[in-house]
Amino acid sequence: MVDPILSLAFSMQSNRGVYALLLGSGVSRAAEIPTGWEITLDLVRKLAESSGEEWRPDPERWFLDKFGEAPDYSQLLDQLTRTPTERQQLLRPYIESNKEEREEGKKQPTAAHRAIAQLAARGFIKVIVTTNFDRLIESALGEAGVVPTVISSVDQARGALPLIHTQCCVFKIHGDYLDTRILNAPDELDEYDEEFDGLLDRIFDEFGLVVCGWSAEWDNALSNAIERAPSRRFTTFWALRDEASAQARELINRRNAQVISIDGADEFFGSVQQHVEAIEEFSKPHPLSTEAAVASLKRYLPEQRFQIQLGDLIDSTVERVKKAISGAEFDVGSPIPTPESVTTRIRAYDAACSTMMTIGVVGGRWAEQEHIRTWKRALKHLCTVPHIGGNVMWLDMRLYPGALLFYALGLGAVESERLAFLGQLFSTVVQDDRNESLPVVHLLAPFVLLNGGRLKGILEGKEKHYLPLNEWMLDTLRQHSLGEIPDKEHYTTNFVKLEILMSLGMMYLHRPGLRGGARGTFWYRSEIRSRCLQEISQSINDLGDESPFVKTRIFGRSAEDCIQRMSNLQQFIANTPFF
């Protein structure tokens, strides 16, 4: 039988960002921050001492004999203190480290906190719900370079950004130990405010759940939120160090949760992190396969006698991409597009196209006239998709691999100023899924690809960008261009210049009724845009019709035609709202 920790790791890796954590006091055990029960027993001891009564060896038995009932964490706090401020001061020494404890490493982030933080930093975890008052998880996230959105009060919940717009959200449902509004008393834990309940309902409905260190004994409101969650889209994993309480067993049964027996939170989350990262690394194309493909490509490119081998290498690479993107994870009918599912699918496409992007940049940089037919064939093959039903976004996204190859070739060509190759690439005619003939520059421009930037606000890490897919491709192709364009600023300039030439080419190759428009990252990278346009203008003004920008007919048939089109583009930028 497969180890349930491995099942969790596979689910977390393949569904990046869709699992929320529910952390109880057991997660902070290794930091020597006591659990609620340990605080209860210590308070019972202090109560007995202050009463002058003997409690040894069993403080729980003393309390039971004295008051006729077992000690209860919430009830005891409610009886010992009358206000939230008093509760805060009573709890502070249990949670906040003093000088000696800091020197001994006590009450500091544990291995569990740091493993969680690393998973969050890599995007595998976006939401952390915790009953703990301490700030250990926030400290660990900060060490990992993650600045979380922390919600610990109703006011913060009311004004919080939607979860999809946060890199990581820490939802402290019982409050923060420095906030006098912490929840401890029985009536406070029986029912949450409407804002808290609403946020919990969303989390438990939209995310998978990993529970660790929470007994479910003290908090009826949290148990109720889990019980009423209707969704079972993703498995619930419940990590247990000891036997489950009656309340926990009931929730486990209701959620049909996968129980994981653990030795402790440190071991558990450390193992999850290790397995997730191992699966992630293994899922990448083997680096030697890409290096071998690049080495073969560079050997075949200069010599005419290797044209057959060159064609076979490019064709087989594209065929592997086509085969990889025909699997169930690229189903055009499901799932419903969400920020998580869209980002997961984009990443899956990127992984499938990894080797192709790298050889594309090399191929574009060293392309000669005799190579254009091979690359055109590759683009046409990638753009050949059947006309079928399905979700519009998933259907449109089938052309994304073609856009990646198109940009990779273009970046290499811009780097080596192979404008003739670029011009022929732009004008390559392909058939869309409705069998309409279009120049590839019109079909594969990212702004056109997903109909005017539909990914705005939902592509992870690019939520605030006007052109999220363009920016995503800028980052993605950077990693595959390092061998040919190592300087980051120079690479960005090449990317912007390519998009300027693409936009000019779209205007030149315009067809009535074509959707989209001349938009790219140059729209808001005005300094780079000015430099690139100045370079092109100077070449045309100095050389006229002999300018390579004119001779290659990338965006015009004459110097006058090209200058006019550049002027039109600048007016379009100045006068057209971005969206």
- Residue 11: CB partners within 8 Å, gap ≥ 6? 19, 208, 234, 235
One domain for residues 99 and 118: no
pLDDT over 90 (residue 517): no
One domain for residues 117 and 72: no
Average pLDDT over residues 486-494: 95
One domain for residues 385 and 404: yes
Average pLDDT over residues 450-475: 80
Enter the DSSP assignment of 231: -
Question: 3-class DSSP state for residue 420?
Answer: helix
How far apart are the two ends of the chain, measured CA to CA in Å? 53
pLDDT over 90 (residue 495): yes
Average pLDDT over residues 195-214: 90
pLDDT score of 484: 93
pLDDT in tens, 330-345: 888 888 888 888 888 8
Q: Give CA–CA dist 522/476, Å, rounded.
A: 17
Per-residue pLDDT band for 284 (boundaries 50, 70, 90) equals low
pLDDT over 90 (residue 498): yes
Total Cβ atoms within 10 A of residue 254? 14
Per-residue pLDDT band for 231 (boundaries 50, 70, 90) equals low
One domain for residues 297 and 403: yes
Mean pLDDT of the chain: 86
Window from 327-331, 386-390, 510-514 with minimum mean pLDDT: 510-514
Q: Tally helices (H) and strands (E) across the chain.
A: 29, 9
CA angle 296, 302, 306 (to 5 degrees): 60
Average pLDDT over residues 349-373: 94
pLDDT score of 527: 94
pLDDT score of 261: 93
Per-residue pLDDT band for 318 (boundaries 50, 70, 90) equals very high
Specify the number of domains making up the chain.
3
Q: Is pTM beyond 0.85 here?
A: no
Average pLDDT over residues 502-520: 70
Per-residue pLDDT band for 454 (boundaries 50, 70, 90) equals low
Question: 3-class DSSP state for residue 237?
Answer: strand
Identify the bridge partners of residue 372 per DSSP, sorted by sequence position: none
Place of tokens 């702004």: 447
Phi, psi torsion values for 186, nearest 5 degrees = -55, -45
Per the model's pLDDT, the better-predicted residue between 186 and 59 turns out to be 59
Per-residue pLDDT band for 546 (boundaries 50, 70, 90) equals very high
The CATH number linked to 193 is 3.40.50.1220
Alpha helices per DSSP H over 57-213: 59-67, 73-80, 84-95, 99-103, 111-121, 136-143, 154-158, 186-190, 194-206
Q: Give CA–CA dist 555/198, Å, rounded.
A: 54
Per-residue pLDDT band for 36 (boundaries 50, 70, 90) equals low
Final residue in a domain of this structure, among 51, 75, 103: 103
One domain for residues 504 and 566: yes
Length of the chain: 579
Q: Give CA–CA dist 70/64, Å, rounded.
A: 5
Average pLDDT over residues 491-500: 95
One domain for residues 248 and 161: yes
Average pLDDT over residues 469-475: 92
Question: 3-class DSSP state for residue 406?
Answer: helix
Q: Give CA–CA dist 369/375, Å, rounded.
A: 11
Q: Is the peptide bond before 34 cis (omega within 30 degrees of 0)?
A: no
Q: Tell me the residue type at 435.
A: N
One domain for residues 451 and 464: yes
pLDDT over 80 (residue 29): no
Per-residue pLDDT band for 463 (boundaries 50, 70, 90) equals confident
Window from 113-127, 416-430, 443-457, 524-538 with minimum mean pLDDT: 443-457
Q: What percent of the chain has pLDDT over 70?
A: 92
Contact 206, 221 (CB under 8 A): no
Question: 3-class DSSP state for residue 22?
Answer: strand
Per the model's pLDDT, the better-predicted residue between 339 and 282 turns out to be 339
pLDDT in tens, 56-94: 888 888 988 888 888 877 678 778 887 877 877 887 788
Q: What percent of the chain has pLDDT over 90?
A: 39
Final residue in a domain of this structure, among 278, 296, 331: 278
pLDDT over 80 (residue 410): yes
The torsion region of residue 236 among left (phi > 0), alpha (psi -120 to 50) and beta comes to beta
One domain for residues 192 and 64: no
Q: Give CA–CA dist 213/491, Å, rounded.
A: 47
One domain for residues 485 and 555: yes
Total Cβ atoms within 10 A of residue 574? 7
**Which burial class, exposed, middle or buried, applies to 462 when counting CB atoms under 10 A from its CB (0-12, 13-18, 19+)?**
buried
Q: Give CA–CA dist 186/544, Å, rounded.
A: 83
One domain for residues 517 and 426: yes
Final residue in a domain of this structure, among 217, 243, 278: 278
pLDDT score of 514: 41
Which residue range forms the structural domain that includes residue 445?
285-575
One domain for residues 202 and 90: no
pLDDT score of 260: 94
| Alpha-carbon distance values, 97 to 108, 113, 174, 563 (Å) | 8, 16, 20, 69
Place of tokens 């039971």: 64
Total Cβ atoms within 10 A of residue 57? 7
Per-residue pLDDT band for 178 (boundaries 50, 70, 90) equals low
pLDDT score of 511: 58
Average pLDDT over residues 545-574: 91
Per-residue pLDDT band for 180 (boundaries 50, 70, 90) equals very low
| Alpha-carbon distance values, 63 to 38, 52, 186, 331 (Å) | 14, 13, 18, 61
- Residue 567: CB partners within 8 Å, gap ≥ 6? none
Cα dihedral 163→168→174→175 (10° resolution): -110
One domain for residues 367 and 263: no
Per the model's pLDDT, the better-predicted residue between 185 and 520 turns out to be 520
Q: Is the peptide bond before 162 cis (omega within 30 degrees of 0)?
A: no
pLDDT score of 162: 78
pLDDT score of 187: 52
Question: 3-class DSSP state for residue 233?
Answer: coil
Q: Tell me the residue type at 543.
A: L
Window from 158-172, 183-197, 263-277 with minimum mean pLDDT: 183-197
pLDDT score of 234: 84
| Alpha-carbon distance values, 28 to 37, 42, 76, 109, 214 (Å) | 13, 17, 22, 8, 11
Q: Tell me the residue type at 411.
A: L
The torsion region of residue 68 among left (phi > 0), alpha (psi -120 to 50) and beta comes to left
Average pLDDT over residues 388-417: 93
pLDDT over 80 (residue 230): no
Q: What is the 3-state secondary structure (H, E, C) of 407-461?
A: HHHHHHHHHCCCHHHHHHHHCCEEECCCCCEEEHHHHCCHHHHCCCCCCCCCCCC
